Structure formats: structure tokens, C-alpha cells
Structure 1
Amino acid sequence: MGLILFTGAALLVWSFVIEPDRVIVKEATINIPQWPQAFDHLRVVLISDLHVGSPHIDIEKLREIVATINQQQPDLILIAGDFVIQDVLGGHFVEPEPIAAELKNLRARDGVYAVLGNHDWWYDGNRVMLALNNAGIKILENDVARIERDDQSVWIAGLADLWTGKPNITGTLAKIPASAMVVALTHNPDLFPKLPTSV
């Protein structure tokens, strides 16, 4: 019985104290047919669900996350929403402006792009967008961005959140040439099966 109680207590400590405080970098290599040669070995950092203000993510932790991202020397940074969180047990609300002020320190040759998540819209999506835009982060809510190198390009298609927005797949992709290489960015992965296989 003592071993069961110890194991249960250890799991609780791991789940609520140790694991949420860790910053882990996971790397993956993705080979894409007909990928533009100018973008060979493109280093992309994808981050999502920062939820700054939750029990283990304050401004100091966000600063650590930004430093860890910059250490990866990314070419492109994609942020898939949920910058803020409110009314979380054990946390405290952090306004979008100080979050954006820290994210302004992100460095990537080809830029920093983002979409908003459900928590951003539940709070005030327009205020979150304004703060991020003022920090130099390009928001792609049903919008696109073209990244160019040596007369070749890759397009980023940002789609609005499935739960709180109105993702416009057809309208967004219509802004991109038909034969272009496209990387889609959205907060809720349940949207991905609805995308054309070419994206």
C-alpha cells in the first residue's frame, strides 16, 4: 500500500510541479517533394499554447522560452495561438502587451508569423492582434505571407481558429498561386483534414 501511495504522490509531483516547468525542444526532419531548393534545410520553429499567466508560465518563463527558440537559430518562426489565458486556477492574467513585448525579441531570418487561438478570441482577439502586430509579428487570420529566396518562394497560409473564428480555406488559398508551395498554420489541428492534399 505504501508503494502505491508513493507512486501516486510521485506522479502528482511530476504532473503538476516538474513537467509543466520544463522547456523541451523536439526536432523533426520533414522531406517534402518538390520543395524549393532555395529553402533546403529551412529551420522552422513551431510553438503553440503559451497560455502566459497559467501557473507555470509567467513573463520570466516566456523570456526563457524566447531565448531557447533563438538558440535554435530558426529561419522561420510560426506561433499557433493561445497567447493569453484568463481565469485559470493557480494562475494570474497577463495582458497581451507585455507578452508581445517579450515575443518581439524572437529572431528569424524569414520572419515571425502567427494565428490566434480560442483563448485569444475569448479574451479580446483584436487587442491580442494589435499587440503582436506592434511587436513585429505578422498575424495571418485567413491571410497569407510570401517568403522569397533567390526567385523562389514558399507561402504561409494562416487560417482562423476552428472554434472561435471562421476559417476560410477556399478564400485564403485563392490568394496563393495554384502551383505554389504552401505551409498551413492554424490553432486547432482538427482543421487540417479539410485542407487540400497539396497544402
Structure 2
Amino acid sequence: MTEKLTGLELLRAPFKPHQINKLPKPYKSDSPRSNCRECGGYHGMPAVHLDYVGHAALTDRLLEADPNWTWEPLAIAPDGLPQFDKDGGLWIRLTICGITRLGYGDSQGKRGGNAVKEAIGDALRNAGMRFGAALDLWHKGELHDAEEEQGKLAAPDEPAAPPRTIQRQTVNLDEWRVKIAACGSRDELEALWHTAKDGGAAESVLSLIVADGTRRFPKEAA
């Protein structure tokens, strides 16, 4: 009989597929918008889809781990409300099971009340990651070598939205790196992205192509 996880150990437990959402990241900022067959949304295409856990699912996990968990802003404004920095970001302290760690979030360009809620949720996800919550979803591929392989992009290995199930592939990234290096322009990289996408390549491959385009052609990067 499997022992039930509790406290901080529970935070590191994988989230179920129905608790994981999709966040599309268009390849270019001016990419034409169209209906997406992968996430069902309407956004710039082509795009890489990053998996993430929403505010409600994370809050449920925090309550399971510690019903008395709390968070507080790192700074208070003169009006008594949380103090946002010059970039619209929010630093917080998240305390779980008596342990406190910092987190940072922003509203990703949103305004008004929704911006405040988005920043808080983003900060909680970031701080929760410091405890191990949804840590696997911050990386493509294997947990410990994702950053070296994919630059700044951080997301889960495979799509996990229902009715699909999470499946890990063995991907020869060195072979793809050779193909990427042979591309001498953004158009060639985009063509390679489409070829990889149509051929069922793993998200780690698509992200690797995007990261290379961002690094080598920064003026046209999203």
C-alpha cells in the first residue's frame, strides 16, 4: 500500500492531467492569428505550447499540504496595499509548513483588477516552484538538463491536457541541433519548425528551434 504524501513532500507530487493548462507562445510577435488545433485557442501561429498549473489547482495543492499556508507582499505601499515594482511585478513571501520562500510574479501586460490577480497568481506559482510545486512543468525534457538544452524556455516535456496522457519520448537533440545550425535565416528556421511540428516532433525540439531563432535573430524574435 502506497504511503500518502503530506506536507512539503506532497507539493512535489505531479499534478493530474486535468489540472494542467496550456499557454501558447507564438513564434513571432506579429504571427498571423488562427484557430489552434492543439489548445483550441485563437492566437498567433505557429506557436509552442507551455504547460502550467493554474491558480485554483495550486491553491488546492497548498491547502492539502498545509491548511494554514499564507503569503504576504515583500513591501507595502503607502496606501497599505501590496507594493509593485517599476515593471509592474510583485515580490511575495510564501510560507508553507513553517518555511518561508520568496516568489515573483507579473501580470504579463494586463491592466486593472485582472492585472493584480494575475500578478498574485504568477507570484504564488513562482514561489510554489521553490518548494517543488509543479517543478517538472518549468522544464522541457529531463528536469536537470532542460535549461542547458533549451535556453530560457521552461515548460513540461509533453502535452498533458485530457483526453491525452503524458508520454515521454527519447529525443536525439544533437541531430536536431545539426539541422538547426544549417538554417541560415529565420524563414529557414520557421520552415524547419513546421516540418518538425507536422512530423510529430516533441515539444522540446520545437522549443529548441524557437530558442535558436531568438538567439540568432533577436530583432525578429517574439
Q: TM-score, normalised by structure 2?
A: 0.21
Q: TM-score, normalised by structure 1?
A: 0.22
